[in-house]
Structure 1
Amino acid sequence: MTEPLTFRAIPGPGFIANTAMSTWLDAGSPSGPVAWLLVGHPSPRRPGESADRIEYGLLGLADGLRLVQPARRLPFIGNRLIIRGPHTVLDYGHPEYAMRLPSPGPAWREHVAGGGNACVMIGLDPIAAGAGPEEIEAYVLRSGKTGRARMGFTRIRPR
């Protein structure tokens, strides 16, 4: 059975500014090192926010990136990473804006700059801003098992 087509708006900078992002390099992957970018959102905390509206925004972000549920084969979503000087940016499909990543480490940037893969994961369940490595690992595993994530992989965009 084919899933029905859904058209969700790709969120703008106001939504993106309130996301929680985490980057790390998984050097122990069987297929070689993989740079990870996890994007999630804290629980509703501002006027007008609700869990449903936040999830809709995250799904719009996932749609703009052409991400899929983790049970499916992860797609290559195009060369969407840009590194210019100290800044790392993700083209998330918005016609006017891109997402600036919060200072990935040097090993992450070197891996990506050298043509290595980066896995992008949008988590649909709330995640605490400032979550530590153990919390992030548990979140990624849980979200993958429950299907409450969307994923794909990307690389650096050639100049």
Structure 2
Amino acid sequence: MTAADLDIPPGPGFVIGVTAATGVHLTQAGEMAQLLITHPGPRRAIETVEDIEDGMRRLATGLRLGPGLVEPPTIGPRLMIRRGLAALDYGHDGYVMAIPSPLHGWLQLVTSGGPCRICLVTAPLALTATQTETDAHIRSSLARGQVLWGTTHARRRWSL
């Protein structure tokens, strides 16, 4: 995959397989909404771990996320909230990524204009991973340069 290929966000066929989890973290500055984006790995015979990691890097590029070992960039308004539904504009011209079942506190924080830290892990993470396994996976992925992140907030309007 070339650098130019990374500039093309993945399509809905890839993004539908991405997993998103919401949470609220208490920092010294106050509450911070969090969005963890992972992928469970290959599920079809034609998919490979490399394909998944490439798709996740393209997703991170579309979101303008930075490396996890440096201060997260501010990536502008990428979240859209309407009637309790949440979506993420990941840079595709025609599609957004649905965020299934966001936590109520997360929705309140984002709807009120609070920041949201997006953390994307390129290495696949099993859907059955426990909290402890997820934490270990994120830490080891961070050490390998497979974590990208950025800070966003909700748009005032739902349209793209």
Confirm or deny a common fold (TM above 0.5). Answer: yes
Aligned residues: 154
Once the two structures are superposed, residues 107-158 of structure 1 have per-residue CA deviations (whole angstroms, 9 ceiling, x without a partner) of 0001111111111111011101143433333333332233211110100111
Once the two structures are superposed, residues 22-77 of structure 1 have per-residue CA deviations (whole angstroms, 9 ceiling, x without a partner) of 111112x2232111111111122202101111111001000000011111221111
Q: Are 2:42 and 2:49, in contact at CA under 8 Å, matched by a contact in 1? A: yes
User: For structure 1, which runs of at least 5 residues remain unmatched after alignment?
Assistant: none
Map of 1:13 onto structure 2: 12
For 2:86, give the aligned amino acid.
T
Q: Does 1:32 align with 2:30?
A: yes
Map of 1:143 onto structure 2: 141
RMSD across aligned C-alpha pairs, in angstroms? 1.5
CA distance in 1, matches of 2:87, 2:41: 25
For 1:60, give the aligned amino acid.
R
For 1:23, give the aligned amino acid.
T
Change (3 A) 1:136 1:31: farther
CA distance in 1, matches of 2:113, 2:143: 29
For 1:95, give the aligned amino acid.
D
Map of 2:114 onto structure 1: 116
User: For structure 2, which runs of at least 5 residues remain unmatched after alignment?
Assistant: none
4+ residue segments displaced more than 2 Å = 130-146
SS of the equivalent of 1:134 reads helix
SS of the equivalent of 1:33 reads strand
For 2:20, give the aligned amino acid.
M
CA distance in 2, matches of 1:83, 1:63: 22
Give the % identical residues: 37
CA distance in 2, matches of 1:108, 1:143: 25
Q: Give the TM-score taking structure 1 as reference length.
A: 0.89
Map of 2:152 onto structure 1: 154
